[in-house]
Structure 1
Amino acid sequence: MLETLILDGKRVATDVKDSLKERVETLSTQGVTPCLATILVGNDPSSATYVKMKGNACKKLGIKSIKVELPEATTTEELLQKISDLNNDTTVHGILLQHPVPSHIDERAAFEAIAIEKDVDGVTSLGFGQTALGFGDYPSCTPAAIMAIIDYYNLPLEGKKAVVVGRSPILGKPVSMMLLNRNATVTTCHSYTKNLPDILATADIVVAAVGKPNFIKGEWLKDGAVVLDAGYNKGNIGDADYDSCYEKASAITPVPGGVGPVTISMLLKQTVDSAEKYAKQVSF
Structure 2
Amino acid sequence: MPTLLDGKKVASDIKQEISTRVDELKSQGRRAPNLAIIIVGDDGASHTYVNGKIAACKSVGFDFTLMHFASTISEEKLMKHVENLNSDDDIDGFIVQLPLPEHISVERVTESIKPEKDVDGFTNQNFGSIVSKNQLIMPATPFGVMELLRRYDVETEGKHCVIVGASRLVGAPLGMMMTEEGRATVTLCHKYTQDLASHTKNADILIVAVGKPGLISEEMVKEGAVVVDVGTTRVVDNSRKSGFRLSGDVDFATVSEKASFITPVPGGVGPMTIASLLLNTLKAYEDQHS
Distance 2:99 2:29 in 1: 36
Equivalent residues of 2:206, 2:225 under 8 A apart: yes
Count of paired positions: 278
Matches of 2:74 and 2:94, distance apart in 1 = 19
Determine the structure 2 residue equivalent to 1:122.
121
1:257 is aligned to 2:255: no
Question: What is the match of residue 13 of structure 2?
Answer: 15
Query: Aligned equivalents of 1:91 and 1:74: distance in 2?
Result: 24
- Alignment of 1:273 with 2:283, yes or no, is yes
Distance between the aligned counterparts of 1:271 and 1:107, measured in 2? 21
Q: Do the aligned partners of 1:132 and 1:174 also contact (CA within 8 Å) in 2?
A: no
The residue type equivalent to 2:15 in the other structure is K
How far apart, CA to CA, are the structure 2 residues paired with 1:49 and 1:26? 31
Q: Using the alignment, how far apart are the partners of 1:109 and 1:154 within structure 2?
A: 39
Q: Note the alpha carbon deviations across 1:73-117, whole angstroms, 9 max, x for none.
A: 111111111000001000111111100000110111000011000
Write the mapping of 1:14-163 to structure 2, written as runs, cut at 5 A.
14-28=12-26, 29-133=28-132, 135-163=134-162
Corresponding residue SS for 1:109: helix
**Which residue type is aligned with residue 8 of structure 1?**
D
Contact 2:92 2:281 in 1 (8 A): yes
**Which structure shows the higher helix fraction?**
1
Whichever residue aligns with residue 272 of structure 1, its letter is: L
Distance in 2, matches of 1:134 and 1:233, equals 35
Q: Does the CA-based 8 Å contact 1:32-1:275 persist in structure 2?
A: no
> CA separation in 2, counterparts of 1:75 and 1:175?
33
Shift in Å, 1:134 = 5.0
Q: Please give the alpha-carbon distance, in whole angstroms, between the structure 2 residues aligned to 1:126 and 1:218.
A: 39
2:257 maps to what in 1? 247
How many angstroms apart in 2 are the aligned matches of 1:34 and 1:266?
Answer: 14
Question: Aligned to 1:248, what secondary structure does the other structure show?
Answer: coil
* SS of match in other structure, 1:263: helix
Give CA deviations for 1:114-133 in whole Å, capped at 9, x if unaligned.
Answer: 10000111111111111133
Deviates more, 1:268-277 or 1:149-158: 268-277
Q: Which residue of 2 is the match for residue 177 of structure 1?
A: 176
Partners of 1:69 and 1:230 in 2: CA distance: 27
Q: TM-score, normalised by structure 2?
A: 0.94
Alpha-carbon deviations, 1:56-86, whole Å to 9, x = none?
1101111011001111111111111100000
- 3-state DSSP of counterpart to 1:162: strand
For 2:130 and 2:40, the matched residues in 1 are separated by: 27
CA–CA distance in structure 1, aligned partners of residues 286 and 49 of structure 2:
25
Contact 1:39–1:98 (Cα < 8 Å) also in 2: yes
| CA distance in 2 between partners of 1:276 and 1:122 (Å) | 16
Between the aligned partners of 1:6 and 1:83, the Cα distance in structure 2 is: 40
The CA RMSD measured in Å over matched residues stands at: 1.0
Amino acid at match of 1:43: D
Q: Unpaired segments of 5 or more residues in structure 1?
A: none
**Residue 140 of structure 1: CA displacement?**
1.1
DSSP-derived class of the 1:27 partner: helix
> Residues 7 and 149 of structure 1 are in contact (CA less than 8 Å); yes or no, is this contact kept in structure 2?
yes
Which residues of 2 match residues 198-277 of structure 1 at below 5 A? 198-234=198-234, 235-277=245-287
- How far the C-alpha of 1:279 sits from its partner, in A, is 2.1
Contact 2:223/2:258, CA 8 A, preserved across alignment: yes
TM-superposed CA distance for 1:136, in Å, is: 2.4
CA contact (8 A) 1:203 1:222 kept: yes
C-alpha distance in 2 between matches for 1:197 and 1:149 = 25
TM-score, normalising length: structure 1: 0.96
Q: What stretches of structure 2 of length at least 5 have no aligned partner?
A: 235-244
Amino acid at match of 1:4: P
